[in-house]
């Protein structure tokens, strides 16, 4: 009798603890993934979306559907991201094959940072009624704002760039920085530098030629006395094919050898390429925008689905790691770190450390490309092996929460990096984690 009397209160206590744990959305030890395979994810897109772009240089075409691709890789969890508006909402019919997976993260922000209130509404509805949706992904969430001005293709020369300080200003020197567009186009050649003290009449300071080399600068001595307007007339281009245009990466004004703060300065141009406005020359360092505001992220994070909260994960590229991201990352539950250029994998440890400092205590997922998307070619197996073995070590140490392999539309085209990864998963997938 005494045993029964003691058992009853203990049972009540156990039930109470279980209810409290569930209410706080804190996973119990039994709920934690226990094998390596349970911490592996595959990045999913609709079938064939790379065929006309990234896979085109290889002359290969992928036809595999995302869930079938996960099966071939021996991965049971998927991060699925809408790509070029595919699939179109509503998503319920498209989702049927995904129900066989263990866990699915669905994109609230799709490829290229695309999102809309209507799309998010459909995603929320899907999550509310689907048991294996375990979270959300914000793909390409942060966007580098171009730090350069480009004129439109084939503009009429001269092309004029005008810069206006908030008040008449004097500087000893100005530096014009040549563009560093990845194809080598948009290179300004002959320029005329002019200033105006009244905004109407301009005085020629110097005519010169910019170096035909990415990021090279040309320094010009300015007249003494304040100017109200600074103007550059680009008279010709170094381009011999392609854009046949011009631009500048930056314009720096120097006073006593130090850069002048251009925060309240304005810039305009007689010709601009969409997305590369004239004020890009005034930026000091890379800036970013985001697909959603911190307030929108906070509201999404407060929602409950099937009686619980679901984590929101933001994609962060290595080149984007910056304190500027912090107000946004403070509103998400997890981050995933991605290294776009294979050569930059040599700094992945350093970048992970920097990201950890930016989001202390938040889980980090390591993104692993199985293809060189930067150069649109096969990823060398040694690069694949390097990032995977580092991730495997960090996973066993508890430093990262999981690994993501990208992506389903290139697992059926015979890539060596994919085949190596598939075999690695066979070998380690069922190993238990502490």
Q: What is the pLDDT along the chain (434 residues), one digit of tens a residue?
A: 333 333 333 444 444 444 444 444 433 333 455 899 999 999 999 999 999 999 999 999 999 999 999 999 999 999 999 998 999 999 999 999 999 999 999 999 999 999 999 999 999 999 999 999 999 999 999 987 667 899 999 999 999 999 999 999 999 999 999 998 878 899 999 999 999 999 999 999 999 999 999 989 999 999 999 999 999 999 999 999 889 999 999 999 999 989 998 989 999 999 999 878 899 898 755 567 899 999 999 999 999 999 999 999 999 999 899 888 999 999 999 999 999 999 999 999 999 999 999 999 999 999 999 999 999 999 999 999 999 999 999 999 999 999 999 999 999 999 999 999 999 999 999 999 98
Cβ(187)–Cβ(179) under 8 Å?
A: yes
94 vs 125: CA distance, rounded Å:
14
Number of H helices, E strands in the chain: 9, 21
What top-level class would CATH report for the domain 149-284?
mainly beta
What pLDDT is attached to residue 421?
98
What pLDDT is attached to residue 428?
97
CA 130 to chain centre: 28
- The DSSP line for 93-160 is HHHGGGGGSSEEEEEEE-GGG---HHHHHHHHHHHHH-TTEEEEEETT-EEEEP-SEEPPSSPPSSEE
The angle subtended at Cα 299 by Cα 297 and Cα 301, nearest 5°, is 70
What pLDDT is attached to residue 181?
86
Cβ(276)–Cβ(297) under 8 Å?
A: no
Q: Give the domain ranges of the chain.
A: 1-28, 33-144+288-428, 149-284
CATH number given to 33-144+288-428: 3.20.20.80
Instruction: Classify residue 176 by its DSSP letter.
Output: E
Nearest to 242 by CA among 148, 152, 158, 180: 152
What pLDDT is attached to residue 3?
33
What pLDDT is attached to residue 27?
36
């Amino acid at each position: 009798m005494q045993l029964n009397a003691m058992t009853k209160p203990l049972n009540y206590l156990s039930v109470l603890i279980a209810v409290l744990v569930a209410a706080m959305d804190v996973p119990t030890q039994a709920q934690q993934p226990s094998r390596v395979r349970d911490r592996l994810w595959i990045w999913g897109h609709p079938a064939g979306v790379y065929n006309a772009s990234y896979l085109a240089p290889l002359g290969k075409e992928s036809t595999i559907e995302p869930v079938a691709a996960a099966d071939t890789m021996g991965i049971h969890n998927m991060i699925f991201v809408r790509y070029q508006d595919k699939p179109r909402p509503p998503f319920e019919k498209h989702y049927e094959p995904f129900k066989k997976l263990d866990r699915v993260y669905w994109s609230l922000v799709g490829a290229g940072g695309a999102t809309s209130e209507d799309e998010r509404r459909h995603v929320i509805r899907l999550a509310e009624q689907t048991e294996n949706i375990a979270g959300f992904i914000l793909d390409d969430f942060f966007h580098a704002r171009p730090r350069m001005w480009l004129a439109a293709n084939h503009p009429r020369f001269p092309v004029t760039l005008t810069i206006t300080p908030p008040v008449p200003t004097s500087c000893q020197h100005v530096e014009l920085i040549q563009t560093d567009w990845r194809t080598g186009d948009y290179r300004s050649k002959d320029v005329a530098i002019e200033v105006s003290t009244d905004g109407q009449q301009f005085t020629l300071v110097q005519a010169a030629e910019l170096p035909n080399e990415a990021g090279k600068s040309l320094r010009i001595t300015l007249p003494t006395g304040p100017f109200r307007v600074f103007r550059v007339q680009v008279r010709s281009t170094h381009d011999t094919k392609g854009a046949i245009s011009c631009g500048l990466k930056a314009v720096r004004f120097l006073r006593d050898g130090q850069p002048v703060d251009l925060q309240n300065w304005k810039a305009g141009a007689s010709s601009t390429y969409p997305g590369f406005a004239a004020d890009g020359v005034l930026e000091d360092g890379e800036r970013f925008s985001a697909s959603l505001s911190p307030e929108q992220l906070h509201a999404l994070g407060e929602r409950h689905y099937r009686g619980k909260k679901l984590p929101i994960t933001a994609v962060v590229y290595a080149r984007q790691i910056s304190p500027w991201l912090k107000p946004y990352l403070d509103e998400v539950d997890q981050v995933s770190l991605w290294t776009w250029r294979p050569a930059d994998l040599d700094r992945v440890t350093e970048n992970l450390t920097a990201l950890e400092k930016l989001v202390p205590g938040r889980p980090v997922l390591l993104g692993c490309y199985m293809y060189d998307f930067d150069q649109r070619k096969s990823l060398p197996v040694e690069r694949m092996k390097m990032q995977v073995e580092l991730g495997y070590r960090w996973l066993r140490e508890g430093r990262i929460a999981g690994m993501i392999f990208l992506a389903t539309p290139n697992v059926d085209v015979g890539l060596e990096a994919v085949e190596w990864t598939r075999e690695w998963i066979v070998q380690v997938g069922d190993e238990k984690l502490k």
